[in-house]
Structure 1
Amino acid sequence: MTAPQWMTLILVIGAISLFASEKVRIDIVALIVLVLLVVLQLITPAEALAGFSNEATITVAAMFALSLGIERSGALDPLGRLLSRIRKPWLLTLCLMLAIAPMGAFVKNIALVATFLPLALRVCANTGTSPARVLLPMAYAAQMGGVCTLIGTSSNLLADSLAQQHGLSGFGVFEFTRLGALLAVVGITYLMLVGRWLLPEEISPVAAAETDIGKYVTELKITADSPLVGQTIADAKLGDKFGIYPLELLRGDRHLWSPRSQQLEVDDVLLVRGDWDKIEDFRKRAVLEIDPENRYGHDKSSARTLVEVMVKPATTIEGSSLEELDFKSNHDAIALAIHQRGRILRDKLKDVRLTAGDVLLLLVSDEAASALRSDERFVVLSEREDTRRTSRRAIAAVLIMVSVVVISGLHWLPIPVAAIAGAVAMAIAGCYGRKDLYQGIDWKIIVLLAAILPLGTAIENSGLSHTLVQAGMGIVGEHGPLAALLMVYLLTALLTELMGHNPSVVLMVGIAISVAHTVGADPRPFVVAVAFAAATSFATPVGYPTNTMVYYAGGYRFMDFMRVGIPLIAIFCALSMYLIPLFWPLR
């Protein structure tokens, strides 16, 4: 291989490693790769910036806005109220999948899962069902719906844009629908008949202690009137009497050595863990104060409510401490307690660094609770009805979304123009606030798309794609186009589980088209294989954001995804090998 090919290959391997490790944010990884491509003169500055004006990048941003309008306008509320009446877990699972899959073809699947996650958790709590029985099928259904249309997922749009750059004709909005709908029907059938038996029936006692959202850690301050003054933690027997488990004793800024034997003094702070109702009962009976509430204070004359929020995956607040977020100033909220999956906290709450899936218990005003429901960084788990939502806005949002789909489907306007027009129409109709539009767009995804696209250009310019194709064809041998199609599908699926769906599309579309030319086949079915393999990531909790969301909320283990997801990927792959050549002939 030539020097440019070696440099490009090293960058590709480095990018895959960083994406898979999740130690660096995905958008930062893409920007690092972009800078190195220019510095090493593998692409020109103009090629480096071309991703920011790419149709796929612009369309994805506009589709974020359209999905936001559907979510904020309350268009999904009637369906949520209907589903909340279901009491049988298997029926709830089926109804959630049947509702989410069709909507996933037009609405951002992360927004769908965020909307229905609190509902599913409430029904599971009311029926005594483990959330693990419901949440994973819900996340998979959102992905199945996304592949049914060109605009259903960003990877479809990206595959279409890259295919056009290689001289192929663009795909229609509903060109993927036949294949996607058939796969969705088979996938939902598998999850109901087979997959549900592979899901964990109950969470083990150890896992339950780690994953129960109710197991909060908070700080309780010893007051002068508390009967605990002068006692030791061991003498108080908090676990036996109250079901509360002390973790640390804080005196000022010191963590006291052997806290169970220390006599409690006024103004000491106990770091305790337990269900919030038990913590609150213990606080009242022991005459204690919740230290964060006492420290920051609040107007006791104003209406306040407790709100449970979960940190969404891949948000800007990951790695931030509660002190840095300053909920009091930014949200008029006080963080009373926190739950972190798989970790028992022993630090002051203000010093805790947040990670995806952390659950916070916030004391907020009604106005602040409404703002939190609109904050794209959180999923509100204990959600109250938003009285400001009106049927007029919901109807307007639905009509605008339908208009965008029809106009782009009939080719009256290009998809980016139709999507932007729809976003503007939703803003005029009041489907979201003035600031909501920019807050609701996941800018990390936009930057990722724009910055990673030039990597595909470098792979083509350096000749690396040709070298990789020749190596791959040595494996396929003389087995024909179908064997080459299978190789492309499996390689894309593997890369997606390692680094996410959008980067894998960028790496694979050019290679897939070259493979098609090498075996004398039509490139379009190969692009379809890349799009579908990338958009149906079932085997790991990190391959797709919806998987990550339910991974934390459902208390799953990594192996649960592999046990349910790998057979589903195999089924989709086998069906795709039969259906793709049927709908898009190889010759």
Structure 2
Amino acid sequence: MAVVFGLVAVTLVLFVTEALPLDVTAVLVMVSLMVLEPWTQISVEQGLSGFSNPATITVLAMLILSNGVSQTGVVQIIGRWMSDYAGTNKRRQLASTIVATGPVSGFINNTPVVAILVPVITDLAHKGGTSPSKLLLPLSYASMLGGMLTLIGTSTNILASQTAERIGADRGVESLHAFSMFEFTHLGVIVLVVGAAYLMTIGYRLLPERVPAEGDYLAEYEMQDYLSEVVVQASSPIVGKTVAEAIDVQRFDADVLQLVRGGERFIEPIGQKVIQPGDVLTIRTDRETLNQIAVVDDLQLTGAPETDPEMEPAAEPDQTLVELVIQSGSSLVGETLQSTSFRDRYDANVLAYRSRGETIHERMDERRLRVGDTLLIQAPKDSLDRLSQNQDFILAHEPDEPDYRTEKIPFAVATIVGVVGAASLLPVHIVVAALAGVVAMVATGVLKPTELYESVDWNVILLLAGVIPLGIALEQTGGADLLGALVASTGAYLPAIGVLWVFYVFTSLITGVISNNASVVLMIPVAVEASLAIGANPFAFVLAVTFAASTAFMTPVGYQTNLFVYGPGGYTFGDYVRVGMPLQLLLSFVTVAGIALFWTV
């Protein structure tokens, strides 16, 4: 038990500090459990059981199905309908965001829904004269609320369902069973309505306006002191050198972004362009470094571009500024701009980027990228469509000519309806229905066979496979019994519904600093033991943990969708606390009361 508690502690520290990627931490835990089998009681078969667990396979299949739906553009079309309805009315914009996100997230995994709608909602905000900060956080929150409408709304629900079924079978607890498709939909609807009402009233007033409504990226990213223009003198030592050779990057943290010669502007690719006297170079660096470069290379300072149009000149309509969000599963996570050869690989210049609320201008090439980091890039317009199709990014702007398979919408919708119908009306397990749906999408051409592998967020799959054995170890060593007994001791002072509320609050707090899936695996066994100790309904406690883990509003790292809107919304950590904490507290009472009403505690 002590060994397992030690592994849990190490896991929590690694999750919070992100010293290793979450999926790598999960695999490390899985390996440690098997190596320490004499103490953890986890055999090789049990250690690897996470990979064959129905929850893992179901989540994998649902990610593929969600990608199939997104390829048809149906979610984007719904978003644009709402955009047309909302116009410039700020309340309608917010209502449209919630309505377009919540119900859809009940039937398509909510993480891809947010990834799809970030550019739609950002464009809606700018066109309507609203700060995107007023809409993007509600987008994330609405997706979490909508995810609680059905079993398949979020991977957390699927994992909680399988965990409850396994514990029920192992312990012989009849009330513990796998969730049916609409097991808690009635409670989910109440939670969604209450959450939406909060976001439309109190939440709207608490939301900041971090990003300007007019969408001036240079002002938003505070680039005024980091972009400058210089004229190359005839006596400059860089004359005759290529742009790539012009600046000693080992000595100076600077990039040449564009070159103007005789009224003609060159941006990308310019690395091999030979510099001539009179060339005007736009350089990204701070003022102190610029002065040093000007002295060393005999350059004349002329000023700085101050607005987006100056970096997107009318003479060069093929250039634009845009934000890219690093999404989960991206090959860039853990890498640097330098190690990925970002500029050459994507034909784009990185001007600055945001990471966990911090705007970074200096030594960008040396910092490792994380999920949710938002890059401000300058790129040719013809490369935006290519970037929007890249699985590494969420493009925070809809491409002008999106390549959607709209003719496949009926097949995609029919497949989702078929999966939901089979799992809820027929004696078919959800994992079988989901896998059959994957086959159907390929057979009907909604997805190409090669896209199956690209559709899966392998980080999530490895995370699930790694943490599932940790929950088993907690049970088998008696750790869950001990923790459950400790919490159950509060039953001497609180009624059963009070202990249920304690579990909800504690789960929501721990989910705010670790993965929502990890918190479910750790908390459900403890909740079951505590409920049995006080003679309460274990299923009610499982539901409380599930709802709390799936609605982590208070931190940007509590849920992936919060990370996706962190950069484009320009939020700070405090924004999540200010807007999310009252909502979390409100829903703790609403959810617990609903569970007590619909299920005997």
- Fold match by TM threshold 0.5: yes
Deviation at 1:549, TM superposition (A): 1.3
Given that 1:397 and 1:426 are in contact with CA atoms closer than 8 Å, whether structure 2 keeps it comes out as: yes
Q: Return the match for 1:521 from 536, 560, 572.
A: 536
Are the counterparts in 2 of residues 248 and 259 from structure 1 also a CA contact under 8 Å?
no
1:345 pairs, out of 361, 385, 388, with 361
> How many residue pairs are counted as aligned between the two chains?
540
CA distance in 2, matches of 1:515, 1:210: 54
Name which of 310, 313, 316 aligns with 2:325. 310
Confirm or deny that 1:549 pairs with 2:564.
yes
Residues 440 and 371 of structure 1: is their aligned pair in 2 closer, same or farther, counting only changes over 3 Å? farther
Partner of 1:187: 195
AA aligned opposite 2:309: D
Contact 2:412 2:446 in 1 (8 A): yes
The AA in structure 1 aligned to 2:207 is: L
Deviation per residue, 1:110-166 (Å, 9 max, x gap): 221122211222232233322111111111000000011111111111111011111
- Report if aligned partners of 1:215, 1:273 keep a CA contact under 8 Å in 2: no
1:532 paired with 2:547, answer yes
Matched position secondary structure for 2:330? coil
Closer, same or farther in 2 for the Cα pair 1:72/1:117, shift >3 Å? same
TM-score of the superposed pair, with normalisation by structure 2: 0.82
Task: Judge conservation of contact 2:151–2:182 (CA < 8 Å) in 1.
Answer: yes
Aligned-partner Cα distance in 2 for 1:87–1:225: 53
After superposition, residues 101-120 of structure 1 pair within 5 angstroms as: 101-120=102-121
Separation of aligned partners in 2, 1:422 and 1:20: 36
3-state secondary structure, aligned to 1:542: coil
Residue 221 to residue 27, structure 1, CA distance change in 2 (3 Å): farther
The answer to whether structure 1 residue 575 and structure 2 residue 572 are counterparts is no
TM-aligned CA distance change 1:213 to 1:126, over 3 Å: farther
1:178 Cα offset (Å): 0.4
Instruction: Label 1:105 to 1:408 Cα distance change in 2 as closer, same or farther (>3 A).
Output: same
Tell me the distance in 1 between the aligned counterparts of 2:386 and 2:211. 33
**Do the aligned partners of 1:213 and 1:359 also contact (CA within 8 Å) in 2?**
no
In the other structure, the counterpart of 2:373 is 357
Counterpart residue number, 2:422 = 407
> Does residue 477 in structure 1 map to residue 487 in structure 2?
no
What SS does structure 1 have at the residue aligned with 2:543? helix
SS at structure 2 position matched to 1:339: strand
* Helix, strand or coil at the partner of 1:91: helix
1:24 aligns to what? 20
Match of 1:176 in 2: 184
Q: Is contact 2:323-2:374 (8 Å) kept?
A: no
Q: Is the 8 A contact 1:452 1:506 kept in 2?
A: yes
In 2 relative to 1, CA 53–553 (structure 1 residues): closer, same or farther, beyond 3 Å? Answer: same
Normalised by the length of structure 1, the TM-score is 0.84
Distance 2:406 2:312 in 1: 38
Query: Matches of 1:88 and 1:111 in 2, distance apart?
Result: 27
In the other structure, the counterpart of 1:259 is 292
Letter in 1 for 2:188: G
SS in 2 for 1:316: coil
Report deviation, 1:385: 4.3
1:211-251: per-residue Cα shift (whole Å, max 9, x none)?
Answer: 82594967978657899x99xxxxxxxxxxx9x996348xx
Contact 2:228–2:283, Cα closer than 8 Å, also in 1 = no
Q: How far 1:363 sits from its partner (Å)?
A: 3.3
C-alpha deviation, 1:50, in angstroms: 0.7
Give the aligned partner of residue 87 of structure 1: 88
- 2:167 matches 1:129: no
Shift in alpha-carbon separation, 1:385–1:210, aligned structure 2, 3 A: closer
Contact 1:245 1:273 (C-alpha < 8 Å) held by counterparts: no
Moved more, 511-520 or 211-220: 211-220
RMSD: 3.4
- For residues 202 and 554 of structure 1, do their structure 2 counterparts lie closer, same or farther at Cα, with a shift above 3 Å needed? closer
Specify the SS of the correspondent of 1:325: coil
Query: Partner residue of 1:148?
Result: 149
1:533 positional shift: 0.5
The answer (yes or no) to whether the contact 2:136–2:565 under 8 Å persists in 1 is yes
* 1:13 paired to 2:26: no
Q: Which residue of 2 aligns with 1:336?
A: 349
Letter in 1 for 2:187: L
Unmatched segments (≥5 aa) in structure 2 = 170-175, 240-279
Determine whether 1:59 maps to 2:74.
no
Q: CA deviation at 1:8?
A: 1.0
1:247 is the counterpart of 2:255: no
Unpaired stretches in structure 1, ≥5 consecutive residues: 231-241, 250-254, 285-299
| Contact 1:247 1:270 (C-alpha < 8 Å) held by counterparts | no
- For the residues of structure 1 that align with 2:110 and 2:291, how far apart are their CA atoms? 49
| TM-aligned CA deviation for residue 194 of structure 1 | 0.9
Deviations 1:486-540, CA, capped at 9 Å, x for gaps: 1221221111111121000000111111111111122111111111000000111
Q: Please report how far the alpha carbon of residue 47 of structure 1 lies from its aligned counterpart in structure 2 after TM superposition.
A: 0.8
Is the CA contact 1:456–1:506 (under 8 Å) kept in the aligned structure 2? yes
8 Å contact 1:485–1:577 — kept in the other structure?
yes
Equivalent residues of 2:221, 2:359 under 8 A apart:
no
Tell me if structure 1 keeps the 8 A contact 2:105–2:147.
yes
Matches within 5 A, 1:232-311: 247-248=285-286, 258-259=291-292, 262=295, 264-265=297-298, 275-281=307-313, 308-311=323-326
User: Shift of residue 391 of structure 1?
Assistant: 2.9
State the SS of the aligned residue for 2:74: coil
Report if aligned partners of 2:348, 2:379 keep a CA contact under 8 Å in 1. Answer: yes
8 Å Cα contact 2:321-2:376 kept in structure 1:
no
CA–CA distance in structure 1, aligned partners of residues 583 and 337 of structure 2: 40
Partner residue of 2:452 out of 421, 437, 440: 437
Higher alpha-carbon deviation: 127-136 or 92-101: 127-136
Cα drift, residue 90 of structure 1: 1.9
What is the one-letter code of the residue matched to 1:130?
A: S
Q: 1:388 to 1:498 in 2, by over 3 A?
A: closer
* % identity of equivalent residues: 33
Alignment of 1:420-459 (within 5 A): 420-459=435-474
| Structure 1 letter corresponding to 2:310 | K
Aligned-pair CA distance for 1:328: 7.2
Indicate whether 1:198 and 2:206 are aligned: yes
